[in-house]
Structure 1
Amino acid sequence: MRNMPNKRKLSLLLLLSLVLVLAACSGGNNAPGNSTGNTGGNAGANANGNAGGSGETAPVKLTYWVAMDGNASRSLGSYSEMLFFQELEKRTGVEVEFQHPAVGSEKEQFNLMIASGNLPDVIESDFTAYPGGPEKAIADQVLIPLNDVIDEHAPNLKAYLDEHPEFRKEIVTDDGTIYVFPSIGIGNRAVSGGLMLRQDWLDELGLDVPVTMDDWTNVLRAFKEKGAAFPFTARLGTFNATNAFNGAYGVGQNFYQKDGQVKYAPLEPGYKDYLAQLNAWYEEGLLDPDFATQDAKAHDAKVSNGDSGAFFAYIGSGMGRFLNAMEGQEFDLVGAPYPVLNEGEEPYFVNKPYEYRGGGSAGITPNNEHVAETAEWLDYLYSDEGHILKSFGIEGETFNMVDGDPQYSELIMDNPDGLSIGEAMGKYLRVSTPTPGLVGDDRYAEQYYEYEQQKKASATYSEHQDNADQVLLPRISQTPDEANELSAIMAEVQTYQDEMLLKFIMGSESLEDGYEAYTEQLRKMNIERAIELKQAALERYKQR
């Protein structure tokens, strides 16, 4: 610069200084945490399940749409107030703004959100129930494919899927696309509902818990002779949605599989035998005649006031509630195994949920500008640390380690604000309903049930839970065209099936004279085409 004018020298020096200052302030475009979705960040969990975040970058902020659990909504206005999510933010540095639909209008508000195209970063829902299936959700640009995202940014979930290839088939479309961070069922206590009886009545009458259908007939007759007005009370769903008695006759209640072939229960001989037994109980006065119309309140009143001695219910919301309400009175309950026809047989049609729960799974939307960080954040829930946090909370506050196992503290088990165990769990944790991560930990189930009768019922109902895998249709998916065709067929078929179920049980339609005409009408309604569509989906599933 020796021969340059002074003013020009000064101008160049000022320009050089400005460039250096701007470069220092920017920190570079490739700084960790500045990802827009295609590169990694340090906001979430690392490959070892340890929460990351150096604190040097601006926090990632996400919007998250999710329906609130009923127990949580009694204490919280938003999940942002939940201890679990507050601690998760501390560990990961990811801030979340929750969007909760109004209780009771979740489905309507979900549809409105999808129709508007104004999507949050993450949607937690059951995309197996999305109209047209998960493939349609991707085609509608509601979800993004996650295979590469999980391979690169979710080492904990990737490891689980690699170790459980059969489970992986549950969460992919027929072309192998992963579309959610799933809720994964674990543990040996998956079956949460079943048949219950008055244990004090059985003791008084010198009867054992019934196992076979003949046992059940004898017990219900004894209850009637004792004075029970309605020995077995029920609601309509007991006979078309719970597998309460149909499994004893080797059939499901709708679609199921046998040796890899899709079956539809009413077309199988065992279904007629099942209806014949229910009709016989109805005619003999062993079955509550109000089962088709009574609401939950009327049903429960018959149990509480001693009009009924047997029913179907869930361990937590049913058995626990009855035992609590009747505490101090002569009232005791016992869970009965899913019945069989002959002594020594094992039940197969039990209410085991899918390992992939469907509900409580998180999908990432195309609107998300922090895909990598979101994946790392969600992946933390599949690590050991994340699972403990989600299911048990913070050591010394919501749980304590006892002989290596997390034991809930009094804040959960004997809440000072009078919350039930379920309500306290809902306020502080995400453990009692399907959520991204692992659910159904046996260590949770053993503590969730307050009464010894509940713990025994849980073991009884779940004893043969693995048998269900042989008859339960896996999470097959129909193509959008198949889904539309199947929906049209089943809308008519299901209405007819429910109508005839009532007529056959109540005897207004003779099983001997009318069952053949019933099955013929189902065929005219194209039920066999529906079976074909299900079978095609099952064959594709096998090839995943």
Structure 2
Amino acid sequence: MKKKYRILSLIAVTALLGGCGKGATPSSPPASDQPESTPAESSEVEKELYPAVTDGSVTLEYWMPIAAPALQVIDSYAENTAYKKAEEATGVKIKFTHPAVGKAKEQFNVLMSGGDLPDMIQYASYYNGGVYKGYEDGAYVDLTPYLKECAPDYLALINEDEDIHREIYKDDKVITFNRIDTEIDIPYYRPMVRQDWLREFNMDIPKTLDDYEAYFQAIQEKKPDAAPFFFTIGTGGDRNLWMGMYDMMGDWYVDNGVIKHYYDNENFKAFLTQMHDWYDKGYLTKDFASLKAEEVNTLFDSGKLGCYSQSVDNQYSRAQQLQDFEFTSCPNPRLTEDQQLHNGPSQNRATSGYDTAISSNCKNVEAAVKFLNYGYSEEGMMTYNYGVEGEAWNMVDGEPQYTDLMLDNPDGLTLSQVAYVHRIHFGPKAVIPDTKCLPGVIKDADSLAFRKLWSDDDKVDSIYSMSELQLTPEETKERSEIITEVSSYVSEMMLQFITGAKPLDQYDEYLQGLKDRSFDRAKEITQIAYDRYMKN
């Protein structure tokens, strides 16, 4: 059973582990009745742990991608005030190394082939064969022996929930520091439509397939210069939203313990038939396969597109800047209003994104572990999510309240930019939801209300969502080789079926093509990994 996040003190962790020594490895989550620490106890832990280095003698190199929006105002995360606070609190100096934007995976591979590894490496899962293969090959350090003494906050968090425990541990070893959600955030990716057009057409917000068709038809009749609808094959968010009404997800998913994929789902043909129908009627824009994301944004913002899927925060921010049109988000599309959908977002609190490993070249592993643990400590969690207390925020009536540094920046930084300069938006940490700490959402009550719109939809659940599985190196290699070929084949066939270049009466030939490319074997590997995960 999932429990609300808490920070445990070193005293509680010691009790949890039964007083085991530094090398002991917890092999199962703690019992649910473990004692919680008081704020005073948690503060004592941080006093004992930090500073990790008192004489300024330790400098560690940290390899991590830098977000493109951050580069608009800073050259390196060395200028980020939250990271500066982490360096001050831990006593560990950090030398940041950033790959070129858009080249992270390519430069990661170059980094690994060179052998001269930095001390800490973000996106450790880029390693060919996965994180555990990186450990087996000697690139990454096993963190487990260090956690009790050097990362008690992280240790407590990954042991408090059995799903998190499954995600992080493999063979009783912990190799990376991962992002851990303190609670599940509100879904942020939804269909967008023009509210001003709905009013003009005297229509309600579309919910069902018939509602969308009526909206698209009205656009064709009354807005002849606009395309009614855009859908992209290559985006998982789009696939999840629009495939959900056909009782499937846009990637791997699990149905009552059975691994499934839309590639060979019995309902995939019905989805393709619908998309082809919309393409044939002119609802789906003819150049849907070639348009880039920024081009689609511009089409919607300029009144040349009636519906597409987007981050609600992104769309709201752009609309506020333009201020010349109205839009709204829609609930997950469905065939009928009473249909129960299973395409809700993952409920897993641990994710592999931004996972950070310590390399075997690390000059001071204990200092590195203590530095990374800071993001899960009481002070570090607040610093990483909100910024530096007293500068970015103050505690008012028991709640953090942002200052003008974040909400009305004196240097002219936008709300999006301050999120990258004065807090840590991406990285391994205990994650507080955007609805509580993202400046752009916090400042504007309408933005927060827009983010929460449809979050109470009881006709959407997440029972199909699947945890990120840990495949063996051999499984990873075999499945990757199959999926590389299969995904290219499916994308090509989807395009041909939707545009009519290939008639849907040849769908059985498509299914045979999956078999010829060993997709059944890829499913078998995934099922084996899932069964192993559930036994962990």
Instruction: State whether TM-score is above 0.5.
Output: yes
Which segments of 5 or more consecutive residues in structure 2 lack a partner in the other structure?
1-21, 24-41
Letter in 2 for 1:101: P
Distance 1:319 1:448 in 2: 10
Q: 1:422 pairs with 416, 427, 443, which one? A: 416
Q: 1:185 pairs with 177, 181, 184, which one? A: 181
CA contact 1:211–1:337 (8 Å) conserved in 2: yes
Structure 1 residue matching 2:267: 3-state secondary structure: helix
Q: Give the drift of 1:401.
A: 2.5
Q: 1:223 pairs with 219, 225, 235, which one? A: 219
CA contact 1:187–1:441 (8 Å) conserved in 2: no
CA contact 2:192–2:307 (8 Å) conserved in 1: yes
Distance 1:538 1:191 in 2: 25
Q: Give the drift of 1:104.
A: 3.0
Q: 2:535 pairs with 532, 538, 543, which one? A: 543
Letter in 2 for 1:396: G
CA contact 1:192–1:461 (8 Å) conserved in 2: no
Deviates more, 1:181-190 or 1:445-454: 445-454
Q: 1:509 pairs with 498, 502, 507, which one? A: 502
Structure 2 residue matching 1:537: 3-state secondary structure: helix
Structure 1 residues 414, 244: closer, same or farther in 2, change over 3 A? same
Structure 2 residue matching 1:157: 3-state secondary structure: helix
Q: Give the drift of 1:239.
A: 7.4
Q: 1:207 pairs with 203, 207, 216, which one? A: 203
Q: Which residue of 2 aligns with 1:324?
A: 320
Distance 1:278 1:150 in 2: 51
Q: Which residue of 2 aligns with 1:35?
A: none
2:434 aligned with 1:437: no
Q: Give the drift of 1:315.
A: 2.1
CA contact 1:144–1:179 (8 Å) conserved in 2: yes
Q: Which residue of 2 aligns with 1:34?
A: none
Distance 1:92 1:466 in 2: 46
Q: Which residue of 1 aligns with 2:486?
A: 493
Q: Which residue of 2 aligns with 1:14?
A: none
CA contact 1:191–1:465 (8 Å) conserved in 2: no
Letter in 2 for 1:448: V
Distance 2:131 2:522 in 1: 20
Letter in 1 for 2:201: L
Q: Which residue of 1 aligns with 2:303?
A: 306
CA contact 1:184–1:439 (8 Å) conserved in 2: no
Distance 1:162 1:414 in 2: 40
Q: Give the drift of 1:419.
A: 1.9
Q: Give the drift of 1:540.
A: 0.9
Distance 2:216 2:530 in 1: 40
Distance 1:369 1:47 in 2: 28
2:107 aligned with 1:113: no
2:70 aligned with 1:72: yes
Distance 1:261 1:56 in 2: 53
Letter in 2 for 1:428: H
TM-score by structure 1 length?
0.85
Q: Which residue of 1 aligns with 2:151?
A: 154
Structure 1 residues 196, 352: closer, same or farther in 2, change over 3 A? farther
Which segments of 5 or more consecutive residues in structure 1 lack a partner in the other structure?
1-37, 40-44
Q: Which residue of 2 aligns with 1:99?
A: 97
CA contact 2:53–2:367 (8 Å) conserved in 1: no
CA contact 2:279–2:499 (8 Å) conserved in 1: yes
2:478 aligned with 1:482: no
Letter in 1 for 2:103: S
Q: 1:252 pairs with 242, 249, 258, which one? A: 249
Distance 1:260 1:517 in 2: 28
Q: Which residue of 2 aligns with 1:531?
A: 523
Distance 2:197 2:446 in 1: 15
Q: Give the drift of 1:148.
A: 2.0
**Where do residues 18-417 of structure 1 align in structure 2 (5 Å cutoff)?**
48-50=45-47, 52-53=50-51, 57-127=55-125, 129-173=126-170, 175-228=171-224, 229-238=226-235, 242-321=239-318, 323-327=319-323, 329=324, 331-352=325-346, 354-417=348-411
Q: Give the drift of 1:314.
A: 1.3
Structure 1 residues 80, 388: closer, same or farther in 2, change over 3 A? same
Structure 1 residues 467, 373: closer, same or farther in 2, change over 3 A? farther
Letter in 2 for 1:108: E
* CA distances 1:380-435 after superposition (whole Å, capped 9, x unpaired): 2112211111111223321133332212222222223332211111112103x343
Q: Which residue of 2 aligns with 1:21?
A: none
CA contact 2:209–2:335 (8 Å) conserved in 1: yes
* CA distances 1:133-162 after superposition (whole Å, capped 9, x unpaired): 122110121211112211332111111122
* CA distances 1:1-23 after superposition (whole Å, capped 9, x unpaired): xxxxxxxxxxxxxxxxxxxxxxx
Letter in 1 for 2:320: N
CA contact 1:123–1:363 (8 Å) conserved in 2: yes
* CA distances 1:224-267 after superposition (whole Å, capped 9, x unpaired): 22215311134443578541210011011232111110112132
Q: Which residue of 1 aligns with 2:4?
A: none
TM-score by structure 2 length?
0.86
Letter in 2 for 1:223: I
Distance 1:168 1:78 in 2: 33
CA contact 1:242–1:351 (8 Å) conserved in 2: no
CA contact 1:320–1:449 (8 Å) conserved in 2: no
CA contact 2:388–2:422 (8 Å) conserved in 1: no
Structure 1 residue matching 2:193: 3-state secondary structure: strand
Q: Give the drift of 1:298.
A: 3.0
| Higher CA-based Rg | 1
CA contact 2:279–2:285 (8 Å) conserved in 1: yes
CA contact 2:163–2:348 (8 Å) conserved in 1: no
Structure 1 residues 52, 383: closer, same or farther in 2, change over 3 A? same
Q: Calculate the aligned-residue CA RMSD, in Å.
A: 2.6
CA contact 2:62–2:121 (8 Å) conserved in 1: yes
CA contact 1:47–1:154 (8 Å) conserved in 2: no
Distance 1:276 1:456 in 2: 36
Identity %: 30
Distance 2:283 2:445 in 1: 29
